[in-house]
Structure 1
Amino acid sequence: MSSVLLSLPEIFAAYKNWVSQNPQVVSDCETSAKWISYFIAGKINNSHVFTELVYCLSNLLVFFNDRIITNLRQLEVPGSGDTLKSWLTVVEYCEVLFELSAQKIWGNVGKWLVIIGVQVFKCLSRLILVYNYKESIIQTPPIPLLERGKLGKPNTNISSIRDVALAQMDSVAFTLKGSGRVIRRVEASPPVHTRTWKPLQMQEACDNEQTLEQALAGRQLIAETIYIVKPVAHLTSMVCFGSNSWKPWIVSLLLDLTSLQLYASCKGTKINSLTPKQKLQLSKRRVMLLMYLLRSPFYDKYSKDKVHALLMSLSRNVPFARLICKPLAQYLPFWQSNYFYMWST
């Protein structure tokens, strides 16, 4: 037994090396584990907790392996808020499991206490990231999935902090092949009144890249704050008006629209200009507005019958669609009651 324990660090080191060397193989294994949760949904004594446990563990496995690849290959420059972002990411992956477990053990009272505790923690953590660590637009989850398809072999990939700086420089400048002169890209140029017209150096390029991801200010800061406090505002309105009232649904929708409108009003200003990364995140938030069609009470009154009829129609008329659509129609009420909350985004 002692020999096995002594070899555990070596086993873990070998595992980390294997994950770093074979990201695509690891992705295939993770995908298989995630699909298991879909296939067993509602089939093991109707145990939704067990299904969610498998799904949660598969997400945590992906996140854990992403961190291994990122750290060993040094793909990111360490930041001061990384620890908080990691904990926040783990909580977001596990929050539905926490809720289902609390409901099974302590009933509805325990369920709502866990929901309130989780959402208050997420709200405070995001505010700390924005105001204290000067984070830009908060992603969901805060640490996104690693794009492993773009990773090459370890010996041909970024392997040092200096290489990271060089990679960042490529996004704001390019080098002439003949003279080796560094030329700033047009989209990365600062406003005319702040230009120095001096040759671009590597450090300046890196500083420029950091400027593009500068901390939020003005209307952007207000917009992000509104988006962050939206889940708590929605829960508060549910306490005041009840879970079946339209008012919490309307409050959440108005806060989302107000946040997006404030960001949109910054497009014409150079000081509050958005980076491509920020624009992509805002595009995702606009798409997520469609989720309001599947959220109660709108879903209960308008969408439920139409979605069920669509799934049944596909099941009858499209070859092999029955294998997917029929189980989906049977399990959709559970998913709708546990995943389509206002506070999940």
Structure 2
Amino acid sequence: MKHKYCSVILVLFILMSVYSSGCVSKNPEEQVPETVTTFLTAINDGDFNTAFNMYTGKDFLAVASIKMIFGNKGIEPGSIEDMNIVSQNITDTLAAVEVECTVLDSEGKNNIIPIYFTLQNSQLGWIVTRVSFTVPLTLDNAQVVDVPVETTKIDVIANNAPLIFIFAVLMLGAGLYIDKKDKAKKKENSRTIDVSGATPIQKESIAQYVKFVPSQQITVGKPATVDVWVKNFTQQPYHDFAIKAKFANSLEPEKINLFFDTIAPGETAKRTWVVKPKLSGWASIEEPTVVFNYGGTKYIGVLDPVWLQVQ
């Protein structure tokens, strides 16, 4: 009976594999533009999770980075009025697409913003691998990326012995990693931020490249996160980049200081505050203070408070 059951699962798995591999799918000329428009529609709908799940690459490190990068280009949810595919070059495995988006700005004016995409055909279908707002992307500079595919139960049964070995190695590696991480955490908690001799800078300037993203559904007594994203838009690196703040009495932070150290030109970096709320209502992270070295000069600036709604 067990063999029959496994055979049924195996048949279903083969059918699903055939379907996902593209044998039962639309042709690339239909799928590629549909994938691009679906990706942009998710951005316009504010559904950044869906957009992130359609993407594999290095342009976006997390869901929040999609929102931040598109927002920096003036593309906010609901602002895309029209999408026009200007050009597309498609092969069996790769595609390059140029789209012109008509975007409504804060003053009610329409702006044409070109966006360049590369896509790759995979077992999951066509996925976005590169997004550029400045440099046109072509098949000549497109690179094939590894697309992770979830392991099924039948794979675990068929490869039981190798997986046990890999699991044991991973457990050993995880133990070493956790030990190393704990030591690094203790070392980081002992670090301090030196603000002496820093030149004040306007908060409006800092707010352009520092964003705070609190977690959703913050509950009393449960750990919550506040992701701090920093984007270096300049041609020189930021050195000794750090952020500290004052936390309300109703918040218990794991650490106060966040150290980014060096942020290269064009790099997006993230650090996270982890806090445990003690009371429901609104709680604030006061005086987020940014300190960094740029071009041989130390700068300091204080941003507006970050408010958390605790349920």
| TM-score, with length taken from structure 1 | 0.21
Bigger fraction of residues in strand: 2
Higher relative contact order (CA 8 A, sep 6+): 1
Bigger fraction of residues in helix: 1
